[in-house]
Chains A and B, each alone.
Chain A
Amino acid sequence: MRTNYTLNSIVLLLFIFCCYMTTDIKAEPSAQKKTRTRLKVYYEKLSNNDKKISIILTQGSGKKASGVENAEIFLTAIDNEDQIELTSIETDANGEAVLIIESNYTFSTDEDGYTVIHAKYNGNDSLKSAKKKIEFMDLNIDISFEIIDSVKHISVYAFEIDSHGNKNPVEGVDLNIGVERLFSTLFLEEAETDEEGIGNMEFPDDIPGDSIGNIKVIVKVDEHDDYGTITKSSKINWGTIVEYSNASNGRSLFGDEAPLWMIISVFIVLIGAWYHFILATIKVIKIKKLGQKSV
């Protein structure tokens, strides 16, 4: 009998298709839908030249986004194709985690000079894994103060240090220069570094300082594409003096102590009234004495 190859292959394909479908149907209940997670990494260079890597891990999206607590994030640095495992950090209740890297720790850089750090979250039963890469270059900032023709100037020198230890100025870096205040930083001016890597600013004469005129100048580079966020501060005695007296409000209507004229007037009136009252009372007491005498 001649076998019908076409019919056989159709039936075979059908059979395979059915098997696939059934296996799929069986497999679905066991596979869960995991929630998407999002990993954000920030690089910041602090004023003492330490570097800070900050991580936020969130789940969900939009208004329902919330931080993932107690998640372990693995940080690795890339060194010429090798992965150097740095450490793992754990998120807090808000899904944030921080790693501080000491200023003198040397990172190896790629051919463009970038340091590359990977952050990875492996996920768990209900959350998907996430990873993020961050690239940055190390920029250094020096703040100097000078007074030229009795005008105060702040000059900021931005430079990179290459492998030979030479300082190479960086042009075109946007600097935000301000002073530290109690609740925040008051940014005064923006300056851009020129070809020599220097940004200049005239410092105004009327910035209040503390009780002896000290102020803390803060220079910030905000989320530069290559250099990240850099903060640098320096103290100088260029502020105006603010009185730090802790004296009370003195004698006034709303103060702690009454005005003297008020106290004196009240006393005079009271003494006037009570003197006469005591006079009358003494007369009545005399009546009693007279009464006792006559008895």
Chain B
Amino acid sequence: MNSNLKAKELLEEYKPFIEKPNKLWITKALILSAIICFGIYVLILQVIEGHIITGMRDNVVWGVYIVNFVFVLGLSYAGALIAGIFHLGRVEWAKPLQRILKLITLFSLIIGPIYILLCLGRPDRLLYLFIHPRLQSPIIWDVIAIVTDMIFCIAYLYFTYIKDFALLRDNAPHLNMYNWRKRMYKFLALGYQNTPEQSKLLNQSLDIMAAIIIPTSIVAYSLLAWLFGMNLRPGWHSSIFGPFFVLSAVYSGIALLIIIMWIYRKQYKMEKTFTDNHFMYLGFSLIILSLFYGYFSFSQYITDWYNIQKTTELFWDKYLDFSQYGIIFTLSALFVVFVPLIFIGIPWFRSINSIAAVSLLVLVGLWLKRYLMIVPVLETPYIPIQDIREDWAHYSATWVEWSLSITGIALFILFFLIFSKLAPIVPVSEMAEEKGKNKLIVFYKTKRELS
């Protein structure tokens, strides 16, 4: 079949990436593993010594860990929301990106909750969340939503791998890899022969998964947003948090996608797969998102500013005071709103590298924004903090928290390294398929057309 041949051709192209690991790959894996081992040591140290070695104290009880959790979970929107929409909309140019998107989601859903575990005072009692849950608590809603989201995303990711596993299984003799891997492909391919019935079943299943994963991810992240929005504290008790978080998540997902695309393109010379067009389209979507983001931000600021209340004014002063949070606030606003508009919007600055650089700055800016959303608000309660101990009055993250943040990044990269060996980083079989063959169910007019 035409698509089969095309698939075989594509596989030949991507074969070297998944075959036996070369020295460079092994070196990278070892370095990352070393960082992760150090991270595990720091984690054990924190469990034994207690949270006193972090920067968290009685007033700012949530620090870098929760910032990381909120940020990383936002990245999960990449695979869930964006990939889902691309799939349901049958967006052709986005086909090569599908797998990266879903992998981002999977890894962020694994790494995000680890940061929650780090923030618990009694991680040994984690199972109490499942033995003694209290349904009225937003944390339990979040747990349910994230677990559901994680299972759905893992399943969705696996379903999209089935066609490629079948392809790899069929082409096993041509591949230079260990036998256990070949057996693994056979097992994971679930006997997929690309017959019409199987193909139809798989496509229907993918459509259903994409359709349910969009609302699931929106709900999961909105619950996290409402965890803050429903809190009585000044600065958090606001109705804008739900939509704002959803938008920031989509924004961060696309930014990370661009960065990973750029890394693959530069490192593995994949100009034909991740073409200039990809960068342009995603770059423009970045601009649109930055405008939306600016709108939401401005809406939040102007409502707070026009008739500012007493305690709100206290922490707005912190945002504008350059000896406190002024620098972070300015950088965050610049990176997230203005830098994309200038360096992607203005054609003179626009290039593949600049788009990737802008995405990196956007990610940094979004992380800073999350930090600003959590820490200064906790430092400004209704009853002012009257404490001479510096670390009780102001939060500053310690080496423990920074090391564990870097460990998270290292874990993310290591996951990518391993999964890029599992199967080609682009969904080869899907790319080989003919355009327009697999229509979305809503486009069929009659039952006869369906069968």
User: Count of A residues near B, CB < 8 Å?
Assistant: 27
* Interface-side segment among B8-16, B194-202, B316-324: B194-202
Q: Which of B148, B192, B211 contacts A274 (CB 8 A)?
A: B148
Instruction: Say how far A33's CB is from chain B's closest CB, in angstroms.
Output: 46
When A276-B212, A279-B208 are in contact, do A258 and B191 touch as well, CB less than 8 Å?
no
Question: Measured between C-beta atoms, what is the minimum distance from B218 to chain A in Å?
Answer: 12
- Which residue of A253, A263, A287 has the most chain B CB atoms within 10 A of its CB atom? A287
Tell me, yes or no, whether B136 is within 8 Å of chain A by CB: yes
Closest Cβ of chain A to B243, distance in Å, is: 19
Residues of chain A with a CB closer than 8 A to B159's CB: 280, 284
Give B55 Cβ to nearest chain A Cβ, in Å.
31
Task: Please give me the residue from chain A that is nearest to B198 by CB atom.
Answer: A287
* Contact for A287 among B136, B202, B208, B209, CB less than 8 A: B202
Whether B144 and A270, one on each chain, are in contact in the complex, defined by CB atoms closer than 8 angstroms, is yes
- Please, which residues of chain B bring their CB within 8 A of the CB of A27? none
Contact with B along A182-225 (1 / 0, CB 8 A): 00000000000000000000000000000000000000000000
B420 within 8 A of A: no
Q: Specify which chain A residues have a CB less than 8 angstroms from the CB of B216 in the assembled complex.
A: 273
Q: Flag if B191 contacts A291 (CB, 8 Å).
A: yes
> For window 131-169 of chain B, which residues contact chain A by CB distance below 8 Å?
134-136, 141, 144, 148, 151-152, 155, 159, 162
B275 interfacial by beta-carbon distance below 8 Å: no
Q: Which one of A254, A255, A262, A284 lies within 8 Å of B202 (CB-CB)? A: A284
A10 in contact (CB, < 8 A): no
The answer to whether A284 and B190 have CB atoms under 8 Å apart is yes
Q: How far is the CA of A294 from the CA of B166 in the complex (A)?
A: 15
Given A270-B148, A284-B202: A290 touches B209 (CB 8 Å cut-off): no
Residues of A close to B162: CB separation below 8 A: 284, 287
Q: How far is the CB of B198 from chain A (nearest CB, A)?
A: 5
Most chain A CB atoms below 10 A, which of B190, B193, B202, B206: B190
Smallest Cβ-Cβ distance to B151: which chain A residue: A277
A266 within 8 A of B: yes
Judging by beta carbons under 8 Å apart, are A266 and B135 in contact? yes
Contact A286 B201 (CB under 8 A): yes
> Can you name the residue of chain B whose Cβ is closest to the Cβ of A255?
B136
A-B contacts at CB below 8 angstroms, number: 79
Residues of B within 8 A of A283 (CB): 201-202, 204-205, 208
Interface residues of B in 177-227 (CB under 8 A from A): 190-193, 195, 197-198, 201-202, 204-206, 208-209, 211-212, 215-216, 219
Residue of B nearest to A272 (CB): B212
Distance in angstroms from B143 CB to nearest chain A CB is 12
Please report whether the interface of chain A is mostly helix, strand, loop or mixed according to DSSP: helix
Complex: chain A residue closest to B202, CB-CB: A287
Contact A281 B155 (CB under 8 A): yes
C-alpha spacing A266/B159, complex, angstroms: 27
Q: Are B202 and A276 in contact (CB under 8 A)?
A: no
Question: Is A258 a contact of B136 with CB atoms below 8 Å?
Answer: yes
A277 adjacent to B201 (CB under 8 Å)? no
**Which residues of B are found within 8 Å of A294, using beta-carbon distances?**
191, 193, 195
Q: Restricting to A237-295, which residues have a CB under 8 Å from any CB of B? A: 253-255, 258-259, 262-263, 266, 269-270, 273-274, 276-277, 279-281, 283-284, 286-288, 290-292, 294-295
CB-based nearest B residue for A269:
B219
Interchain nearest-CB distance for A218 vs B (Å): 40
Q: A287 and B212: CB pair below 8 A? A: no
Interface residues on B, range: 20 to 34
CB contacts (< 8 Å) of A258 on chain B: these are: 134-136
A276 and B208 contact, CB distance less than 8 A: yes
Query: Min CB distance, B160 to chain A, in Å?
Result: 11
Q: Decide: A280 near B135, CB < 8 A? Known: A273-B148, A286-B201, A288-B191.
A: no
Chain B nearest Cβ from A104, distance in angstroms: 61
Which residues of B lie under 8 Å from residue A259 when comparing CB positions? 136
* CA gap between A25 and B197 in the complex, in Å: 125
A123 to chain B, nearest CB (A): 50
User: Do residues B135 and A287 form an inter-chain contact, with CB atoms below 8 A?
Assistant: no
Chain B hits for A269, CB < 8 A: 219
Instruction: Tell me the complex Cα distance, A202–B159, Å.
Output: 85
Bound: A284/B91 CA distance, A: 23
The residue that A291 contacts in the complex, of B193, B206, B212, B215, with Cβ under 8 A, is B193
Structural contact, B209 and A280, CB atoms closer than 8 A? yes
| Identity of the chain A residue whose Cβ is nearest the Cβ of B215 in the assembled complex | A273
Given the complex, which residues of A lie within 8 Å of B205, measured CB to CB?
Answer: 280-281, 283-284
Residues of B within 8 A of A253 (CB): 136
Q: Which A residue sits closest to B149, measured CB to CB?
A: A273
**Measured between C-beta atoms, what is the minimum distance from A239 to chain B in Å?**
37
User: Which single residue of chain A is at the shortest CB-CB distance from B212?
Assistant: A276
A290 to B189, CA, bound (A): 12
In the complex, the answer to whether A273 meets B197 with C-beta atoms within 8 Å is no
Is there contact, CB below 8 Å, between B192 and A291?
yes
Pairwise interchain contact A287-B144, C-beta atoms closer than 8 A: no
Residues of A within 8 A of B193 (CB): 290-291, 294
Chain A residues with CB under 8 Å of B219's CB are: 269
| List of B residues within 8 angstroms of A286 by Cβ | 201
- Chain B residue numbers with a CB within 8 Å of A292 are 191
Please state if A266 and B144 are interface contacts (CB–CB under 8 Å): yes
| Contacting residues, chain A, for B141 (C-beta < 8 A) | 266
Asked if A277 meets B155 with Cβ closer than 8 Å, knowing A253-B136, A286-B201, A290-B198, the reply is yes
Q: What does the 1/0 interface line of B111-148 toward A look like (CB < 8 Å)?
A: 00000000000000000000000111000010010001
CA distance A295 to B193 in the complex (A): 9
Q: Which residues of B have CB within 8 Å of A281?
A: 155, 205
Question: Would you list which residues of chain B between 231 and 253 have a CB under 8 Å from chain A?
Answer: none
The residues of A that contact B192 with a CB separation of less than 8 Å are 287, 291
A287 CB to nearest B CB, Å:
5
Bound complex: CA A284 to CA B197 (Å): 11
Note all chain A residues with C-beta closer than 8 A to B152: 273, 277
Q: How far is the CB of B167 from chain A (nearest CB, A)?
A: 14
| Given A290-B191, A290-B195, also A263-B209 (CB < 8 A) | no
Task: Let me know if B148 and A291 touch, CB within 8 A.
Answer: no
Residue positions of A touching B, CB distance < 8 A: 253-255, 258-259, 262-263, 266, 269-270, 273-274, 276-277, 279-281, 283-284, 286-288, 290-292, 294-295
Residue pairs across A and B with Cβ atoms less than 8 A apart, 13 shown, are A258-B136, A270-B144, A274-B148, A277-B209, A277-B212, A280-B205, A281-B205, A284-B159, A287-B201, A287-B202, A288-B191, A290-B201, A294-B193
Closest 8 A/B residue pairs (Cβ): A291-B191, A258-B135, A283-B205, A280-B205, A280-B208, A288-B190, A283-B201, A276-B212
- 12 other A-B residue contacts (CB within 8 Å) besides A263-B135, A280-B159, A287-B198: A262-B136, A270-B148, A273-B216, A276-B211, A276-B212, A277-B208, A277-B209, A284-B201, A284-B202, A287-B190, A290-B197, A290-B198
